Amino acid sequence: MINIAVFVSGRGSNLKAIFEQIKLGNLPANISAVVSNKKGCGAIHFAVDKNIPTFIIVNSKDEKFASYRKLENFLSGLKIDLIVLAGFLNKIPKEFIELYRNRIINIHPALLPKYGGKGMYGSNVHKAVFENKENISGATVHFVDEIYDNGKIIKQENVDISNVKSPEEIAEKVLKIEHKILPEVIKEFATGIIKFNN
Ligand code: GRF
């Protein structure tokens, strides 16, 4: 059993997918906290509804650093083993990344290293994939370091998009892959298949 903190900024479908796998008994993990920079987002509403402790990051220029320090204290009390970024749209300070080196993972809605980097998130990714007439897309789970979408790739799974008619169709196909591989990777941490390397 591992304690995870899930960082979110959107509707929370990946958070819900993790929650569901835990509820089904397929994932020996405990969602100890949900963290966001958007207090009104769907993922936070879901966490509150499920009585999961939440923490809201204050993203303003002069308070962001202090807010992440408070977050460090909040998480240290919960003995977090793994941080999971699931649609989290906020640049994490390098000091925080250092503190959790090799214990932060992210789900990206494309086959990195293609279609990654600053600004490549959500629909921006699927529009670029569509405009480039790619035949496959997919999702990637990777370690998080100081550079956007740059950390070591842990797992990828692709999906055929040769017949899609819009970026929205790609998003729908890719999201299904995200909801599959993110819980799979968390399970691999929880069952020791992937070792934590401090
Ligand atoms: C997903 O497409 C994910 O790949 C990207 O942001 C979106 C989050 O969606 N990082 P949700 O909030 O988990 O529904």
How does pLDDT run along the chain (198 residues), one tens digit per residue?
Answer: 999 999 999 999 999 999 999 999 999 999 999 999 999 999 999 999 999 999 999 988 889 999 999 999 999 999 999 999 999 999 999 999 999 999 999 999 999 999 999 889 999 999 999 999 999 999 999 999 998 888 999 999 999 999 999 999 999 999 999 999 999 999 999 999 998 775
Cis omega before residue 183 (within 30°)? no
Å from CA of 108 to ligand 1 middle? 8
Residue 106 Cα: closest atom of ligand 1: 10
Planar angle of CA 41, 146, 81, nearest 5 degrees: 65
Å from CA of 150 to ligand 1 middle? 17
- Every domain of the chain and the residues it spans: 2-111+139-157+181-190
Phi and psi at 51, nearest 5°, equal: 55, 35
Catalytic residue list: 108
CATH for 2-111+139-157+181-190, among 3.30.10.20, 3.30.565.10, 3.40.50.170, 3.90.1490.10? 3.40.50.170
b/e 164-197 (16+ beta carbons within 10 angstroms → b): beebeebbebbbebbbebbbbbbbebbeeebeee
